[in-house]
Structure 1
Amino acid sequence: MAPKVLVVLTSFGHIEAANKPTGWYLPELSHPYDVLTQAGVEIVTASPKGGVAPLDPASVEMFKADPSAAAFAAEKKAVWEQTAQLASFKGRAGEFAALFYPGGHGPMFDLVDDKDSIALIEEFAAKGKPVAAVCHGPVVFVNAKRADGKALLAEKEVTAFSNAEEDAVDLSKYMPFMLEDRIKAVGGIYKKAEQPWGELVLVQDGGKLITGQNPASAKGVGEAILRAISA
């Protein structure tokens, strides 16, 4: 039977203060999706509200020349427009090989403190199943705990969208907090690529915790998930 990976997308689609649409970021799902499905992995998608998970239109425009992103946007709408409700997956970690969160600014606003999401992450982690996220996706881990009560990210090398990258896209002032700072605050050992927008994927505990810094890191995160579930 093909292994299944549960992908959780944001349901948050608009930053009111900036009057700006947001959501999940196209290449951060398309690249891992391609890597995993081409290896025979089944992808199941969920979101807090279920139904359509908002795709950040800026990511469609920015990555229109990216073959993976463009093809995914054109051909795979059902993947993000027919998501199941996140709460329905609690207690079902045994059905899946791994859990993955793409980024986009949306997760900063809803998934960060979503109780169902946190419970799901803790359940997967307790069962020794890989949990992975890219760009703003790692925000989902900052409130999760390990079985011993410590923060999930405590003493782990973690990456995510950097303060410098947030400043570069001029959205720092609209964020509820800076992701790099929050990871450090919960005891994570934050790492970033030498240059903004550089690729960085960090794998901890033999593949149990996988993080990528930015859109350029998305394919590498997909490859790391595949290695972790194939081991």
Structure 2
Amino acid sequence: MATILMPLPSRDFDPTETGVPWTILEAKGHHVVFATPDGKPGAADPIMVTGKGLGPLAQMLRANAAGRAAYMAMAQSAAFKSPIKYDDIQTADFDALLLPGGHAKGMRPYLESAKLQSVVAEFFTTGKPVGAICHGTLLVARSKAANGKSVLHGRRTTGLTRSQELIAWGMTRAWMKDYYRTYSTPLETEIRSLLASPNDFLTGPTAIKRDRPDKLHRGFTVLDGNYLSARWPGDAHRFGTEFAALVESRARSRPASTT
């Protein structure tokens, strides 16, 4: 089975976007290796885990029961407790790359990491599967190919949409300020500026609901070659399921060893 790299920031990553795909991949027998800046276990955004600070919107905006349970199980795993350092990542050691998101300010070192951007570029060069959800797609878009353009230049993607980002910010800014604004420029706006055509960013259905294992059709993903993207935690079950299928299809298509 495949060995999959999942880099994380030290804090503030989304519990659902990490835990749900991890659960799906582990159930299929794949091995997930975590990486953090300092080789110490990371911690998910506590607001998304507990809902504390979200006030009357906590039930709507925090991770749901499935997301929280998946994160708690992942956080207790031996692999999660023993991550490698970003600087120790060797892309040849991995069959695929999974990039989760999160919106709180602790995500910035992950999104701005020159090391991770170089890792992303190497995965695209080799054609190995890359999956990104929510702000993970921003890390991908900021990664440059040998021609100096984004690795997504000429590809299609989705990601956290401008409307999703601004609606969550608008509902909470009276007491949470810019908690939902990772940067002043919305994710969708920055990514569109890095694509060959702004129309290569796909937003999916206007009406959105969280998906579930038995309702994968509620989620939205975009597959372009070896690259799979999704928008938000509500796409996590579909994203994780389709990423596992992508990893397995690529493994089957590799030439058999002649040794």
Q: TM-score range by the shorter chain?
A: 0.7 to 0.9
Structure 1 position 49 matched with structure 2 position 38: yes
Q: Structure 1 residues 134 and 50 mapped into 2: Cα distance closer, same or farther (>3 Å)?
A: same
**Is the Cα contact below 8 Å between 1:136 and 1:179 reproduced in 2?**
yes
Give the aligned partner of residue 221 of structure 2: 201
Give the aligned partner of residue 86 of structure 2: 86
- Counterpart Cα distance in 1 of 2:3 and 2:163: 35
Give the aligned partner of residue 97 of structure 1: 95
**Is the Cα contact below 8 Å between 2:161 and 2:188 reproduced in 1?**
yes
Secondary structure of 2:165's counterpart equals: helix
Give the aligned partner of residue 125 of structure 1: 124
| Residues 18-48 of structure 1: per-residue CA shift (max 9 Å, x gap) | xxxxx11111111111111111100100022
Whichever of the two has the greater Rg, that structure is 2
- 1:194, CA displacement in angstroms? 1.8
Give the aligned partner of residue 135 of structure 2: 136
Unaligned runs of 5+ in 1: 14-22
- 1:114, CA displacement in angstroms? 0.6
Give the aligned partner of residue 29 of structure 1: 18
Give the aligned partner of residue 47 of structure 2: 58
- 1:95, CA displacement in angstroms? 1.9
Question: Of 174, 190, 207, which residue of structure 1 is paired with 2:201?
Answer: 190
Give the aligned partner of residue 17 of structure 1: none
Q: Structure 1 residues 95 and 157 mapped into 2: Cα distance closer, same or farther (>3 Å)?
A: same
**Is the Cα contact below 8 Å between 1:63 and 1:70 reproduced in 2?**
no
Aligned residues: 215
Which amino acid is 1:163 matched to? R
Q: Structure 1 residues 56 and 124 mapped into 2: Cα distance closer, same or farther (>3 Å)?
A: same
Identical columns (%) = 23
- Counterpart Cα distance in 2 of 1:212 and 1:197: 13
Question: Of 189, 199, 210, which residue of structure 1 is paired with 2:228?
Answer: 210
CA RMSD after TM alignment: 2.1
After superposition, residues 64-79 of structure 1 pair within 5 angstroms as 64-66=64-66, 69-73=68-72, 76-78=75-77, 79=79
Which amino acid is 2:84 matched to? A
**Is the Cα contact below 8 Å between 2:20 and 2:70 reproduced in 1?**
no
Q: Structure 1 residues 197 and 77 mapped into 2: Cα distance closer, same or farther (>3 Å)?
A: farther
- Counterpart Cα distance in 2 of 1:197 and 1:57: 24
Q: When the two structures are superposed, what TM-score results if normalisation uses the length of structure 2?
A: 0.75
Which amino acid is 1:100 matched to? L
Give the aligned partner of residue 39 of structure 1: 28
Structure 1 position 175 matched with structure 2 position 195: no
**Is the Cα contact below 8 Å between 2:19 and 2:74 reproduced in 1?**
no
Q: When the two structures are superposed, what TM-score results if normalisation uses the length of structure 1?
A: 0.84
- 1:173, CA displacement in angstroms? 5.0
- 1:117, CA displacement in angstroms? 0.1
Unaligned runs of 5+ in 2: 51-61, 170-177, 210-218, 250-259
| Residues 178-218 of structure 1: per-residue CA shift (max 9 Å, x gap) | 1100110101611112226452111101xx11110110111
| Residues 72-123 of structure 1: per-residue CA shift (max 9 Å, x gap) | 315633454432211101xx22221100111112575112221110111111
